[in-house]
Chains A and B, each alone.
Chain A
């Protein structure tokens, strides 16, 4: 392989010392590349210095032509550098891949030198069976660096000692004997000789192709150029994805299919890495279409796709997905990601869990909306899966899962919801509580009682407010909790919530309970006074006959101040009733 250019030699012969210094600088720069990253200031300095010195040399000599030996560089027949340590030797690095000459020419830029060293670094970092320096230099096509590597190197590599195939030619047979033209051909020649010849069209009649047919006009050149341009613009990863679908569509070799799942993962990963969520979605959509086609014709392929889709929720992708999601613009999050998650199916849940993990604060509402669409779908199919995710993932997502599951009443769901009573996350305890309240189940309502003892007062209050007292055991439990002695440490809001829960029932036991409260003396007992006042407030707001009766009774029988409060409350209730 040759990539060379001739440069007229200079009349002035350079000193070997000058060349030695240059080569030393060349190898040192190369070593620096091994130690420092390319953008490091040391590298820049090395390349700058080498370029300066080399340019100075090339201004005088036009080119620096080095012959490459096994472990040395030679300049004009003399060794100017030697390094026998094959692990580090730059001449050996070139020699091993068959390079025999390397030249730097006048006009060499600093940028070319950077690329030159970068290429060496890149090749050195990869296994020799993958890449070689000759090939890499060839691809770089440097303007002012040329090299020579004879074909023999690659030929030997291919033949590995075997002889090259021989094509035997019998020269004698080729150049002896006679060609007897057929009558038809002879006639054609004779006819031709009778025709007048012009400069432009001689022989044209006899040609099988007409020139006009193949002439390419200028506008057609432009079309060709635009075709090439458009193929250059084709994104390789998307093309690969489409191609793999075609291969899968046609593949009929079972052994080949065994490794096909890996190829699908490769496609998927490449598209994700490129951040092409739209292309990923389209790839998945096509795969799902193929799965439908295969389910009746080639079920093993449908299974393969199914297995691939199921593996999408595996750890390999989690970090990639969340990183990609968070770096997407809001518009892409709202459109492309919603599409993607909807097409993805079950693994979307795992991804969602990871994405929700990334939110320290309340996630955007569109994410919740999208998540709910997916969760609702999966709540029917895979409730266990959802429950598992809810237990393990971000409270923001678990909250949505609780909401989705709460729409399906089943012993399993109740048991799931009940487990949150011990959750360390107040958000989830609250969500589970609300979910339980929506269920038409006595068990669920009994479970809610537990929330009345929650460490968080807000949850206790919420529990009292939505508690459904569907049987007497629940009521008895509540009455015990509302015993005066147990009310004292509670806040006014919590007491009020408990009273509301009791008052709503209209149960005779509750009447007795309030009567008991109104009988208590307030003298030097401010807390009792406050409790009674709260009871009046609650009864005033409770729209049932029992509450009215209790207030009327207390207005007549109670102590002075109690009566006054009840009177005012009743008056307020009455006026509200009148107004409407």
Chain B
């Protein structure tokens, strides 16, 4: 089914955008309500009527089309940009449509409310594009048509995509290592290359976020600081994206996060890696890295085009929300938004990483819980909650015990806030505890007979305790 894309009308691009966003939000509500109630429920009907109204307003002589291209929605040929508030709706609708390989929905003139209701009902009954198409045909829906995704990712393509993300991840490590370990860091500091690298990272985060989150489970590869910086960079992009930063802001955030520990270039290795408690003078040296980093980046700002925000982040990523922490500044009244973001991510990655001086690490879900407990003294409370929402109650990389007795590795969070406890999980041990290369299962899947969930998380497990090398599973998935 192929409908050519027509030119967007010159009039009301803003209105079309608003309508498109509203349609996504309404669809999301219907998807949620549909799980709990029947299509005749009052709440459901209300939402349906509102959706219908909006669609009708946008059908003129040509059909109004909602289309997905490269993970982005277009409505009537206008690219729909989400803001922080609408992000969960975008993500859920995108996933629901992608799951059924639906690339576009065309709403034709003459569409009636009943047809829209039938479409939603069919949508719930169908797990694939083919079954959806059959159901739509059976329901005799004439004024609504769907288009199949031309290139749905095959497992092989998914593997390729993951492999590409991993390559970029390791290139980032190498790039940062060049800057950190060069005899002349200023010479080795190539911001244009960094910028382009960050754009590539950004694209991978957008297209393959779950796997990228998985990669952030790689810890202490080569040098802690380098590995940590790349992880912080990736998670910062994802958090910034949730907050609704635009893509150029996200690149600046990524650069800022990437170089947030640049000051450690001057901290002696024996202090950085000291296995025992630091002496006060050693702690004082460590605590200089924020302002040393900021000072160096500031000095290079003009020649190298360092973004101002990167200097902020280098300086402020250890300053707490109540302005305690370090360094103690001259006149600061608040830290920069980017510093607040990086502070959260930096902290999370640090406490989930094993170090010589910190043999006990927190599991990812424990880390989030601990951070929440720290309250508003340590972090910006709202940003922290957005971060936790993003990571999910069981973040990607969490090892979980399932009610089936199986052990699973969380590989993708559920974007639906109501289903945070039901991520996608790779089975890594069977009921008997045998380590296996098991399938990836969706914990929202229900038994068709009992209508009960097939699998449910019972509790999070500490991967260290069971010698489970989390990162290895993600890398293994990219191997031939």
Contact of A266 among B302, B332, B386, B456 (CB under 8 A): B302
Closest 4 interchain pairs by CB?
A250-B291, A249-B330, A221-B85, A231-B337
Q: Are A165 and B7 in contact (CB under 8 A)?
A: no
> Once bound together, how far apart are the Cα atoms of A189 and B174, in whole Å?
43
6 residue pairs A–B, Cβ–Cβ below 8 Å: A106-B5, A154-B196, A225-B244, A228-B84, A240-B311, A247-B311
Q: Are B175 and A158 in contact (CB under 8 A)?
A: yes
- With A224-B382, A286-B331 as known contacts, state yes or no: A192 contacts B458, CB within 8 Å: yes
Q: Are A165 and B170 in contact (CB under 8 A)?
A: yes
List 9 additional A-B contacts (Cβ < 8 Å) besides A1-B199, A106-B5, A107-B77: A151-B167, A174-B437, A174-B476, A178-B435, A206-B458, A213-B372, A243-B308, A244-B298, A245-B330
Contact of A130 among B192, B203, B457, B475 (CB under 8 A): B192
Per the 8 Å Cβ criterion, residues 1-35 of B in contact with A are: 2-8
Measured between beta carbons, the chain B residues less than 8 angstroms from A209 are 365, 368-369, 372, 388, 393
Per the 8 Å Cβ criterion, residues 162-197 of A in contact with B are: 162, 164-167, 169-171, 174-182, 185, 188-189, 192-193, 197
Q: Are B84 and A158 in contact (CB under 8 A)?
A: no
Measured between beta carbons, the chain A residues less than 8 angstroms from B109 are none
Kindly report which residue of chain A lies nearest to residue B87, judged by CB atoms. A221
Q: Are A6 and B382 in contact (CB under 8 A)?
A: no
Q: Are B385 and A214 in contact (CB under 8 A)?
A: yes
> Once bound together, how far apart are the Cα atoms of A95 and B459, in whole Å?
52
Q: Are A208 and B365 in contact (CB under 8 A)?
A: yes
Contact with A along B70-107 (1 / 0, CB 8 A): 10000001010001110000000000000000000000
Contact segment of B138-146, B271-279, B461-469? B461-469
Kindly report which residue of chain A lies nearest to residue B172, judged by CB atoms. A158
User: Which of A141, A206, A243, A286 has the most chain B CB atoms inside 10 A of its CB?
Assistant: A243
Contact segment of A64-72, A256-264, A382-390, A560-568? A256-264
Kindly report which residue of chain B lies nearest to residue A7, judged by CB atoms. B5
- With A206-B458, A216-B382, A216-B386 as known contacts, state yes or no: A62 contacts B294, CB within 8 Å: no
Query: Quick check: is A471 within 8 A (CB to CB) of the other chain?
Result: no
Contact of B389 among A170, A214, A266 (CB under 8 A): A214
Q: Are B453 and A239 in contact (CB under 8 A)?
A: no
Query: Quick check: is A215 within 8 A (CB to CB) of the other chain?
Result: yes
- With A225-B84, A256-B295 as known contacts, state yes or no: A165 contacts B222, CB within 8 Å: yes
> Once bound together, how far apart are the Cα atoms of A498 and B18, in whole Å?
89
Contact of A207 among B8, B70, B394 (CB under 8 A): B394
Q: Are A8 and B5 in contact (CB under 8 A)?
A: yes
Measured between beta carbons, the chain A residues less than 8 angstroms from B421 are 202-204, 207, 211
B316 CB to nearest A CB, Å: 9
B187 CB to nearest A CB, Å: 11
Query: Quick check: is B336 within 8 A (CB to CB) of the other chain?
Result: yes
Query: Quick check: is B48 within 8 A (CB to CB) of the other chain?
Result: no
Per the 8 Å Cβ criterion, residues 423-480 of B in contact with A are: 428-429, 432-437, 452-453, 456-461, 465-466, 468-469, 471-473, 475-476, 479
Query: Quick check: is B164 within 8 A (CB to CB) of the other chain?
Result: yes
- Please count how many residues in chain A sit with their CB below 8 Å of the partner chain's CB atoms: 97
Query: Quick check: is A220 within 8 A (CB to CB) of the other chain?
Result: yes
Measured between beta carbons, the chain B residues less than 8 angstroms from A4 are 70
Kindly report which residue of chain A lies nearest to residue B307, judged by CB atoms. A236
Q: Are B312 and A252 in contact (CB under 8 A)?
A: no
Measured between beta carbons, the chain A residues less than 8 angstroms from B389 are 214, 216
> Once bound together, how far apart are the Cα atoms of A240 and B372, in whole Å?
32
Measured between beta carbons, the chain A residues less than 8 angstroms from B420 are 211
> Once bound together, how far apart are the Cα atoms of A227 and B243, in whole Å?
10
Kindly report which residue of chain A lies nearest to residue B247, judged by CB atoms. A141
Measured between beta carbons, the chain B residues less than 8 angstroms from A206 are 457-460
Query: Quick check: is A155 within 8 A (CB to CB) of the other chain?
Result: yes
Contact of B466 among A171, A179, A193, A213 (CB under 8 A): A179
A424 CB to nearest B CB, Å: 45
Measured between beta carbons, the chain A residues less than 8 angstroms from B53 are none
Query: Quick check: is A290 within 8 A (CB to CB) of the other chain?
Result: yes
Q: Are A169 and B475 in contact (CB under 8 A)?
A: yes
> Once bound together, how far apart are the Cα atoms of A225 and B242, in whole Å?
11
> Once bound together, how far apart are the Cα atoms of A170 and B472, in whole Å?
8
Query: Quick check: is A5 within 8 A (CB to CB) of the other chain?
Result: yes
Kindly report which residue of chain A lies nearest to residue B457, judged by CB atoms. A203
B231 CB to nearest A CB, Å: 14
B99 CB to nearest A CB, Å: 19
Q: Are B435 and A174 in contact (CB under 8 A)?
A: yes
> Once bound together, how far apart are the Cα atoms of A10 and B3, in whole Å?
11
> Once bound together, how far apart are the Cα atoms of A193 and B70, in whole Å?
42
B427 CB to nearest A CB, Å: 11
Kindly report which residue of chain B lies nearest to residue A249, judged by CB atoms. B330
Query: Quick check: is B405 within 8 A (CB to CB) of the other chain?
Result: yes
Q: Are A189 and B195 in contact (CB under 8 A)?
A: no
How many residue pairs link A and B with beta carbons under 8 A? The number is 284
Per the 8 Å Cβ criterion, residues 142-199 of B in contact with A are: 150-151, 164, 166-168, 170-171, 173-175, 178, 190, 192-193, 195-197, 199
Q: Are B308 and A165 in contact (CB under 8 A)?
A: no
Query: Quick check: is B282 within 8 A (CB to CB) of the other chain?
Result: no
Q: Are A243 and B168 in contact (CB under 8 A)?
A: no
B443 CB to nearest A CB, Å: 9
Contact of A188 among B192, B458, B469 (CB under 8 A): B458
Measured between beta carbons, the chain B residues less than 8 angstroms from A483 are none
B399 CB to nearest A CB, Å: 9
Query: Quick check: is B357 within 8 A (CB to CB) of the other chain?
Result: no
> Once bound together, how far apart are the Cα atoms of A2 and B208, in whole Å?
13
Measured between beta carbons, the chain A residues less than 8 angstroms from B312 are 239, 243
Q: Are B70 and A135 in contact (CB under 8 A)?
A: no
> Once bound together, how far apart are the Cα atoms of A188 and B336, in whole Å?
43
Q: Are A154 and B331 in contact (CB under 8 A)?
A: no
Measured between beta carbons, the chain B residues less than 8 angstroms from A85 are none
Query: Quick check: is A223 within 8 A (CB to CB) of the other chain?
Result: yes
Q: Are A208 and B368 in contact (CB under 8 A)?
A: yes
> Once bound together, how far apart are the Cα atoms of A555 and B163, in whole Å?
124
User: Which of B79, B171, B434 has the most chain A CB atoms inside 10 A of its CB?
Assistant: B171
> Once bound together, how far apart are the Cα atoms of A474 and B283, in whole Å?
81
Q: Are B458 and A139 in contact (CB under 8 A)?
A: no
Query: Quick check: is A246 within 8 A (CB to CB) of the other chain?
Result: yes
Q: Are B403 and A231 in contact (CB under 8 A)?
A: no
> Once bound together, how far apart are the Cα atoms of A209 and B407, in whole Å?
20
Q: Are B456 and A203 in contact (CB under 8 A)?
A: yes
Contact of B70 among A5, A204, A263 (CB under 8 A): A5
Q: Are A225 and B173 in contact (CB under 8 A)?
A: no
Query: Quick check: is A132 within 8 A (CB to CB) of the other chain?
Result: yes
A309 CB to nearest B CB, Å: 18
Query: Quick check: is B251 within 8 A (CB to CB) of the other chain?
Result: yes
Contact of B336 among A6, A154, A166, A231 (CB under 8 A): A231
Contact of B475 among A1, A162, A167, A252 (CB under 8 A): A167
Per the 8 Å Cβ criterion, residues 292-319 of B in contact with A are: 292, 294-296, 298-299, 301-302, 305, 308, 311-312, 315
> Once bound together, how far apart are the Cα atoms of A562 and B299, in whole Å?
88
Query: Quick check: is B49 within 8 A (CB to CB) of the other chain?
Result: no
Q: Are B308 and A247 in contact (CB under 8 A)?
A: no
Measured between beta carbons, the chain A residues less than 8 angstroms from B238 are none
Measured between beta carbons, the chain B residues less than 8 angstroms from A158 are 171, 174-175, 178, 193, 197
Q: Are B295 and A165 in contact (CB under 8 A)?
A: no
Query: Quick check: is B344 within 8 A (CB to CB) of the other chain?
Result: no
Contact of A208 among B244, B366, B479 (CB under 8 A): B366
A357 CB to nearest B CB, Å: 31
Contact of B315 among A129, A159, A207, A243 (CB under 8 A): A243
Kindly report which residue of chain A lies nearest to residue B298, judged by CB atoms. A247
Q: Are A174 and B472 in contact (CB under 8 A)?
A: yes
A152 CB to nearest B CB, Å: 8
Contact of A139 among B251, B294, B299 (CB under 8 A): B251
Kindly report which residue of chain B lies nearest to residue A220, judged by CB atoms. B382
- With A135-B196, A192-B458 as known contacts, state yes or no: A245 contacts B433, CB within 8 Å: no
Query: Quick check: is A359 within 8 A (CB to CB) of the other chain?
Result: no
> Once bound together, how far apart are the Cα atoms of A245 and B70, in whole Å?
45
> Once bound together, how far apart are the Cα atoms of A7 and B196, in whole Å?
26
Q: Are B453 and A177 in contact (CB under 8 A)?
A: no
